[in-house]
Amino acid sequence: MNSLNGAETAMTEKTTAERAYRLLREDIVSGALEPGQKLKIEMLRNRYDIGSGPLREALSRLAGDHLVEILGQRGFIVAPFTAQDAREIGDLRKLVEAEALSLSIPKGDSTWEERVITTFHRLERLETGPAQGVQALAEWERLNHAFHEALVAACPSTWLLRTRASMFKHHERYRRLSRVRTVLTRDIHAEHRALMEAALDKDVVTAQSVIRSHIENTTQAVVQAIEVLKKAG
C-alpha cells in the first residue's frame, strides 16, 4: 500500500511539474513574465497555486530551454532578449528549415499535400480575419506551427527534424515579441501563400528562397522590437 501511495504521489508531482512548466513557459514566451524578471518561488506559488518542488523542477527544465537563467544561489530570472541571440537563432532556423524543405517537398505525396493545404487554410482564416489580441496571437502561433510542420512532414531525416523543431521552438519567443512590440508592415499571409504554392508546385528552389526571406523578415522585426525595449527601459 505504501509503495502504491508513493507511486501515486510521484505521478501527481510529475503531472504538476509538467503543468508548472507549461504555464511558466507560456508566460515567458508571451511576455507576461518580462525578460530579466526575478522568478521568486513564493511569487510563483501564489501566481500558479503550485508547490515549490514542481516549480523548481519546471524552472530547471526551462533553464535547459534557455528561457530561464539560474543565478547560483540567488535564484532564477527570465532570460533576457539580445539582438545577437535573435540573429543567431534566425540564421540557424533559416539553414535547417530550408534543408528540411528540400528533403520534404520531393517526397511529399497526396496525404502530405492535403495536410499542407488544410493547415494553410486554417491559418489563412485567422490571418485574414478580424481577430486580435493576446489570445489571437497564441492561436496564430499554434496554426503557424501546424502549417510549417506540415511543409516538412515528408522529410526523412529524424535528426534534421529534431534540430528544426528545437530552433522553431526557440524562435517562438522572438516571433511573439516582434508581433507585440512592432507595427506589422509586411504581409505575412502573402509570404505563407507563396510558401505553400512553391511547395505544392514541387519548386524546391523557390520554397527555400521564400522561407529564408520569411525568417529574415521576422529576425529584422525582432531586432527592431529589442531596440524598442531598450529605449523603453
- What CATH architecture is 2-78? Orthogonal Bundle (1.10)
Domains in the chain: boundaries: 2-78, 83-232
Q: Which of 90, 35, 41 is nearest to 67 (CA)?
A: 35
- What CATH architecture is 83-232? Up-down Bundle (1.20)
CA angle in degrees (0–180, nearest 5) for 193-120-101: 70
Please check whether the two domains, 2-78 and 83-232, share a CATH topology.
no
For residue 6, the model assigns a pLDDT of 47
Name the one residue in this structure whose C-alpha cell is 515579441: 177
**Total-model pTM:** 0.79
The whole-number mean pLDDT for each consecutive block of 10 residues of the chain, a chain of 233 residues, reads 47 78 89 88 94 93 91 86 88 96 98 98 90 72 94 98 89 76 74 97 98 92 79 65
Rounded CA-CA distance 225/182 in Å is 6
